Amino acid sequence: MSAVEIQSDERAAAGLRPWWKGACIYQVYPRSFADSNGDGIGDLPGLTARLDHIASLGVDAVWISPFFRSPMADFGYDVSDYCDVDPVFGTLADFDALVKRARTLDLRIIVDQVYSHTSDQHAWFRESRESRDNPKADWYVWADPKPDGSPPNNWQSVFSGPAWTWDARRGQYYMHNFLSAQPQLNLHNREVQQAILDVMTFWLDRGVDGFRLDAVSFMMHDRALTDNPPRPASDTRKRTRPFDFQRHVHNQSQPEIVGFLKRMRALADRYGERYLVAEIDREHADAEMKAFTEGDSLLQSAYGFTYLYADRLDAGLVRAASEIWPGEAGEGWPSWTFSNHDAPRAVSRWLEGRDPAAFARMSLLLLACLRGNIFLYQGEELGLPQADVAFENLQDPEAIANWPLTLGRDGARTPMPWCEDSPFCGFGEAAPWLPHDERHQALAVSVQEADPDSTLNWTRRVTALRRSRAALRDGAIRFRDAAEPLLVFERGEGDAALLCAFNLGHDSASWRLPEGWRVIERVNAGGGDETLAPLEGLIAERA
């Protein structure tokens, strides 16, 4: 029996922690991972063929971004059928084969689910928009215009313009927090909730081990449709979209979300140890992550955009993020990611002119030392920088709409470079949907496999260390006093505790390993006994 097949009751009887607690989870953006059929788009068979690479990293699970039927207005985050695979990615049989292969590699499979909205091509919406009295008339958020014909309120969509689009068939506006092609589900409606639970059941029955829940903050709206207040002038964050001018207190983050999450957790628990992790919008992230994971009846974990949208990495950021989760009784479990499909890659975002390979390795070690689950985004194990994508090659609707003020997401979504001397870097036999960045060719998997000192092999070393030390997987975290740019903290308790120290700055900094400790891992060494070099990091155990 593989580790994946050991059920929760057996793990509990053996005194084992839940498999997901402290897990390292690898995120795959399937469109850009591996193309098996030569159409320029990654697919499920391509992912299955590359699962050995993922398993070699020593991760616990694979999170797969949406691969469901979709017109691809937002590249799969606009779902037209939750219970089928889009033909561009393969078939349900291909998904079943992927799960089967993952089991042989002791990998668990987590699928992305988008429950706040669907595509406007979904059968539910097509029926809903036909009239005001059909069986699904109340499955989406519809509202009458104001007397002057304008939208019902001032809510703005994330990507551009009002969060309302007129539909002449019903003589009403429908709501959309994102693209107009992504109408908002009315999750206040219990029938809609049940339909979503049926979707979860479909995938749980197919063997998935959990769900990454997209845009949970947007699941429910204020039914009174109250106007959002303006963002105060004292808030100096950059404003590039109408969305940025408001405080989003009524179009999202409603207290009724908690009740629906309880129904989701109760369903998942019937299948044993399943893992539910929420993506939380940044405006109310701290409070919502705690509220949505409290106790044993809600989600196990949540993550926000603390690191993903941070302009720089420093000790203050790490401390502030960790202090959201002090480890109190009944508290949920955090998850962290430095890069993903929605944000520029961390190596570029935080580099500040320093050596990219050194920064990539230091950040990987730091991520592995954080208390909580950690996500590795595809290509992060290679130290890939953000790709440069020319305007004429952009695919991301947000980037196109807000060019050039919004960097967009395409630069983090370019195809994986597998082999430096193959056409299209081994991604497939045809030109991919987004072009490769030339800098990625030299960082291809084939190049790094042959170099024992590569970022790829460093990643394997770091994940193996995290997996072997309980202190790193689920131990407590305590910060030690240290002046910027130093970051020093302990993980775990007593003799099993580990000491972690990092210099996040540009210059050497004075620091000495305390008496009674010995280094077990070090990156970018060069500071000697009295200092830490720039981007140096280490882990020490009690001597």
Does residue 177 fall inside a structural domain? no
Residue 79 belongs to domain spanning: 22-116+190-466
Q: Has residue 11 got a pLDDT over 60?
A: no
Q: Is residue 407 part of a domain?
A: yes
Question: pLDDT at residue 4 above 80?
Answer: no
Residue 76: pLDDT band (50, 70, 90) is very high
Q: Which of 442, 466, 490 delimits the end of a domain? A: 466
469 within 8 A of 500, measured Cβ to Cβ? no
Specify whether the CB–CB gap between 412 and 345 falls below 8 A. Answer: yes
- pLDDT for 23 beyond 60: yes
- The residues pairing with 103 across neighbouring beta strands, listed in sequence order, are none
Does 351 share its domain with 205?
yes
Residue pLDDT, tens place only, 30-46: 999 999 999 999 999 99
Whether residues 299 and 339 fall in one domain: yes
What's the pLDDT score for residue 152? 98
- 400 vs 65: which has the higher pLDDT: 65
Q: How confident is the model at residue 433 (pLDDT cuts 50, 70, 90)?
A: very high
Q: For residues 125 and 136, what is the distance between their CA atoms, to the nearest angstrom?
A: 8
Co-location of 461 and 487 in the same domain? no
Residue type at 515 in one-letter notation: E
Encoded amino acid at 464, one letter: A
347 shares a domain with 249: yes
456 alpha carbon, distance to own chain's centre? 21
Q: Are residue 523 and residue 447 in the same domain, yes or no?
A: no
CA–CA gap between residue 238 and residue 143 (Å, rounded): 31
Residue 310 and residue 437 in one domain: yes
Percent of the chain with pLDDT over 70: 97
Cα–Cα distance between 163 and 283 in angstroms, integer? 17
Lowest mean pLDDT across 103-107, 399-403, 476-480: 399-403
pLDDT at 406: 66
* Buried b or exposed e, range 369-382, using 16+ CB within 10 angstroms: bbbbbbbbbbbbbb
The domain boundary residue, chosen from 466, 491, 519: 466
CATH number assigned to the domain comprising residue 533? 2.60.40.1180
Cβ burial 515-542 (10 Å sphere, 16+ → b, else e): eebeeebbbbeebeeebbbbbbbbbbbe
Specify the number of domains making up the chain. 2
Mean local confidence (pLDDT), 376-382: 98
Strands 61-64 and 24-28: parallel
Question: Residues 6 or more apart from 296 whose CB is under 8 A from it?
Answer: none
Q: Which of 466, 486, 511 is the last residue of a domain?
A: 466
**Residues near 280 by Cβ (< 8 Å), separated by ≥ 6?**
216, 217, 288, 289, 292, 302, 303, 304
pLDDT of 57 over the 70 cut: yes
Q: Is 511 exposed, middle or buried (0-12, 13-18, 19+ CB in 10 A)?
A: buried
Give the mean model confidence (pLDDT) for residues 534-541: 98
Do 399 and 514 have their domain in common? Answer: no
Do the domain assignments include residue 126? no
What is the average pLDDT across 75-94? 98
Asked if 170 and 129 touch (Cβ cutoff 8 Å), the reply is yes
Q: In the structure encoding, which two tokens stand for residue 100, read together?
A: 């089967």
41: which residues sit within 8 A by CB, 6+ positions away?
31, 35, 88, 89, 432, 433
Dihedral, 519, 522, 524, 530 alpha carbons, nearest 10? -10
Any domain includes 8: no
11-20, 49-58, 475-484: lowest mean pLDDT where?
11-20
Structure tokens at 296: 């044993």
Q: How far is it, in rounded angstroms, from Cα 398 to Cα 218?
A: 18
Encode pLDDT of 247-267 as tens digits.
999 999 999 999 999 999 999
One domain for residues 237 and 367: yes
> What average pLDDT does range 322-327 have in this prediction?
95
Is the pLDDT at 290 greater than 90? The verdict is yes
Residue 12 placed within a domain: no
Instruction: State the chain's mean pLDDT as an integer.
Output: 95
Q: CA dihedral defined by 295, 293, 319, 248, rounded to 10 degrees?
A: -140
Can you tell me which residue has the tokens 């992305």? 112
Task: Give catalytic residues, as residue numbers.
Answer: 214, 279
Mean predicted confidence (pLDDT) in 327-332 = 95
DSSP alpha helix (H) spans, 246-387: 257-269, 285-291, 315-323, 346-349, 356-369
Over the stretch 183-202, which tens digit does the pLDDT of each residue have?
A: 999 999 999 999 999 999 99
- Interior angle at CA 68, CA 64 and CA 69, nearest 5: 160
Count the helix, strand and coil residues of the chain and give each as a percent rounded to the nearest 5.
30, 20, 50
Residues 386-411: tens digit of each pLDDT: 999 999 999 988 788 878 776 679 99
My answer on whether 452 and 486 are in the same domain is: no
- Pair 514, 416 in one domain: no
Could you tell me the pLDDT band of residue 16, with boundaries at 50, 70 and 90? confident
How far apart CA 533 and CA 522 sit, in angstroms, is 11
Phi, psi of 403 (to 5 degrees): -60, 140
**Dist. CA 34–CA 29, nearest whole Å:** 10
Band of pLDDT at residue 529, cut at 50, 70 and 90 = confident
DSSP state of 74: T
Residues in a beta bridge with 230:
246
Query: 131 in a domain, yes or no?
Result: no
365 lies in the same domain as 499: no
Asked if the model's pLDDT at residue 7 lies above 70, the reply is: no
Q: Could you tell me the CATH number of the domain that includes residue 92?
A: 3.20.20.80
Q: What is the share, in percent, of the chain residues with pLDDT greater than 90? A: 91
User: Over 70: is that where the pLDDT of 146 sits?
Assistant: yes
**pLDDT confidence of residue 407:** 62
Structure tokens at 37: 């059929």
Judgement on whether residues 365 and 247 belong to the same structural domain of the protein: yes
User: From CA 408, how far away is CA 406, in angstroms rounded?
Assistant: 5
Sheet with 537-542, side-by-side order of all strands: 477-479, 486-491, 498-503, 537-542, 517-523
Residue 497: count other Cβ atoms within 10 Å of its Cβ.
17
Question: Across the strands, what pairs with 102?
Answer: none
**What is the distance of C-alpha 115 from the center of its chain?**
15
Among the listed residues 144, 292, 290, the one whose alpha carbon sits nearest the alpha carbon of residue 216: 292
Is 145 a member of any domain?
no
Residue 397 has what pLDDT?
83
The pLDDT value given to residue 12 = 52
Q: Classify residue 171: in a domain, yes or no.
A: no
Contact in structure between 278 and 292 (CB atoms under 8 Å): yes
d(CA 473, CA 150): 53
d(CA 218, CA 161): 17
Residues with Cβ within 8 Å of 390's Cβ and at least 6 positions away in sequence, in order, are: none
